[in-house]
Structures are given as structure tokens and as C-alpha cells.
Structure 1
């Protein structure tokens, strides 16, 4: 199994296979528009802009499971991200990341890269999963880790070009 084994609905409502991102380094993030970490969208976009040409993608998955901080519709979320942070990286439809209704991709990510004390549970918005060019989960980063602090890890994976 790899992340390419999964599909997800884009924020525009189109079901796509993550196979579309095969051969790329991915940063998969559960996002929210009304969170203290929401300004991380800016750094995520900066990383995307800086590394896209080298085969890097950020995949944003809005989630309303933490304090109801993503209450809007997909249209609201897309507009918010574009207007406030100039987001151009792929955004997906709202998903659950924990519980029995968790999206299968997030069940896989959590199993492959456990959090603190080997917990599979995602604790909050903006948990980040770094995936190599072969679709394997390499590392998990907590919400409070600035996307810019992940640059070195991204560059190592991109360097294997």
C-alpha cells in the first residue's frame, strides 16, 4: 500500500486517484479556516511555489473535527484560501481524519506515521504528513511545526531526483 492506493474528492467535487501525484514528494495536511494555525496556509503556499517545479505538491484536506474550525462549504473554503492566502495547491473536499468515518487515506497516514507516544490519533488541525516519491509516508509533523521548518526534509526527498 502507498498513498497512491487512495482516491479523494477535490474541493470542486471531482473524485481523483492520488496516483495522479505519483513520483512527486507530497505534504498532506489537514486544514481549517478558523484555527490559530490557519496562517500556516501562507507558508504551505510558499513551499509549494518554491518546490513545485522540482516535483513537490501540497495537498490540503479541510477538516471540521477540531473545535468546529472549518464550518464552511467547500465553496466557502476554496474562496477563503484563495482570497486570504493565495492558495493554488490542490485542495480537497472536507474530510474526517479521526473516528470511524475517517477518510481511508488518513487512516493509512496515521498508521504509517504515528504521533506522540505512538498515538495514531490526529490531535489538531495542520498535522502534516511528508510522503516520498514512491508514495511512502516518511514523517509526521505536529500542528505547531511551521511548514518552513520542514524545508530540509523536503529538500532531502527532492534531492533524490
Structure 2
């Protein structure tokens, strides 16, 4: 199965696959609005604004798995992201990123790009996965990697 076949739920509740992002460079991030790393939303939006027309798609997947640092409902999450952080890049429904209930997308991402010492588990919010135009997961970044630190890798993939 290709990454483009994986079903996801948009923050609005509509089901879709990642097929609309075929041919784009995707930066997939597990987010949390109440996390200390939430200021990264601004940098992620800046990446989308700067490189979106060249083919970058920043995709945010809220998760409350780390100390419950995410709001309960998808509508609340969408509102907080837009009002507090100026987010206009695509957000998806709240999911789990680790464990038996991990969303299939994050199972795929963690299988393809391991963390420190080969770990599959996501350690915290704002772990980022860079996916090339062919759907190959090429790099995993930790929460401490700020969006602006990813520019060189993004530019290489955009060509």
C-alpha cells in the first residue's frame, strides 16, 4: 500500500486519502495546541506560505497522546490553530500516533523513518516526517528541530 492510499479524516470530519498530495513534498507533523512546542505552528505556516506554490504541503495531525496537550474536539482544535497560531495549512482529525491504536499513517511513517537508536515510537508532539514527491518517507525530525531548520532538506526535495 502506498502512503497515498491511507485514509485520513479532515478536521471538518470528511474522509479522504492522501492522494490529493501526490506529486507534492509533504511535511507531516503530529501537533498539539497546548504543547510547549506550539509556537512551531507559526514556523510551519511560514514554510507552507514560502514553499507551497513550489509543491510543499504541510499537514498537521493533532494528537493528545503526550500529557493530553491537545483540546478535545476537532472543531476546537481548528479554531485554536487558526485564531491563536494563524494556521491555514491542512489539519486533520485528532488521532493516536503510538501504540495499538496508532493511526495507519503514523504506523507507516514510523516504519519507514525510525527515530533515535532505531526507535519506532514517537517521543513527543511536533515530530515531523518529510515525504518526497513519490511518497517515500525520506527523513524524520524530532520536536526540537524547528521548522526553519528543515529548509535545506525541503529545498532539496522541491528541486
CA distance in structure 2 between the partners assigned to 1:87 and 1:71 by the alignment? 16
CA deviation map 1:41-100 (0-9, x unaligned): 000000000001001100000000000000331011000000011111000000000010
**C-alpha displacement at 1:7, in angstroms?**
1.4
What is the total number of aligned residue pairs between the two structures?
A: 159
- Pairwise CA RMSD: 0.7
TM-score normalised per structure 2 = 0.98
Q: Write out aligned runs for 1:51-130 (5 A).
A: 51-130=51-130
SS in 2 for 1:82: helix
Relative to the length of structure 1, the TM-score reads 0.97
Q: Runs of 4 or more off by more than 6 Å in structure 1?
A: none
Q: Secondary structure at the match of 2:30?
A: strand
Structure 1 alignment gaps of length 5 or more: none
- 1:2–1:134 contact (8 Å) kept in structure 2: no
Q: Secondary structure at the match of 1:76?
A: helix
Partner of 1:155: helix, strand, or coil?
A: helix
Measure how far apart 1:5 and its partner are: 2.2
Mapped partners of 1:10, 1:152: distance in 2: 29
- State the secondary structure of the residue aligned to 1:120: coil
* Equivalent residues of 1:44, 1:58 under 8 A apart: yes
